[in-house]
Amino acid sequence: MLVSGAWMLSSLGYTYGVTLGPDGMIYSGTENRIVKIDPETGDVEDFAELPMGEGAHMFDFSPDFSRMYVGILSSTAKLYAIDLDESLEPIGDPYVFADDVGLGYHDGLGVDVCGNIYVNDFWTASFYRVSPLGDVALLQAWPYPDPGYGHGQEWGSGLGPWRTDAIYVPQPYDSNTVAEIVVGIPSRKFNDGKYEVINAEE
């Protein structure tokens, strides 16, 4: 399945960002399109389309799954959103949710239990928080040429030293280290003090 899956994604052209939805489907970006992939059959269907020139790069859902957020690869620095119905189908076209989120190379995106969106922007080497109302705040900046930029993100599991209220960002340009950014709020996947375990045996 891994081999056929890899072939399946490569057949879509340029792809970036892979997110598992609550419906068990895989969501990925290919140029300005977002596609939905059935991991059982390999079937691919178009999910949404951004304006031309706005590369669909990273994705995550709001805590109630009524919205998908889309980080982009472009020079417009916009964060997009797609409203969803109860079947996770788009209601209307993607729209601009927030402006001035870096310079538009979003290679990390996650949502906390309160609905805040966290975005890594490569061009500004910065880490932003966007409120559920679309207000943008800079949380961390790694001044150029500081190599510490966090390329991607993952919330802590609560196991060992990994804090549930912190986001861990890999730093491939800083000798492959990992930085801890304490945001004080757990991931949207946090549930009754435990994280949801996906694709793991009981």
CATH code for the domain of 66? 2.120.10.30
Number of domains in the chain: 1
Determine, yes or no, domain membership for 8.
yes
C-beta neighbour count of 27 within 10 angstroms: 23
Question: In this structure, how many other beta carbons lie within 10 angstroms of the beta carbon of residue 8?
Answer: 18
Residue 151 lies in a domain: no
In a domain, 191, yes or no: no
Residue 4 to residues 12, 32, 40, 41, 114, Cα–Cα distance (Å): 13, 24, 11, 10, 37
Note whether residue 175 is domain-resident. Answer: no
- pLDDT of the chain along its 202 residues, tens only? 343 444 455 556 677 888 999 999 999 998 889 999 999 988 999 999 999 888 899 999 999 999 999 999 888 899 999 999 999 999 999 999 999 999 989 989 999 999 999 999 998 999 999 999 999 999 999 876 677 788 899 999 888 889 999 999 998 888 888 999 999 999 998 864 444 444 444 4
pLDDT at residue 6, rounded to an integer? 46
Question: pLDDT at position 35, please?
Answer: 94
Find the largest Cα–Cα distance for the chain: 46
Q: Bridge partners of 46? A: 35
Instruction: Determine, yes or no, domain membership for 147.
Output: no
- Taking the model in full, what pTM does it have? 0.87
Integer-rounded Cα radius of gyration of the chain: 16
Residue 51: strand, helix, or coil: coil
In a domain, 171, yes or no: no
pLDDT of amino acid 1: 39
Domain that holds residue 124: 2-142
> In this predicted structure, what is the pLDDT of residue 140?
92
Whether 113 is in a domain gets the answer: yes
CA 7/CA 18 separation, integer angstroms: 15
Is residue 103 helix, strand or coil? coil
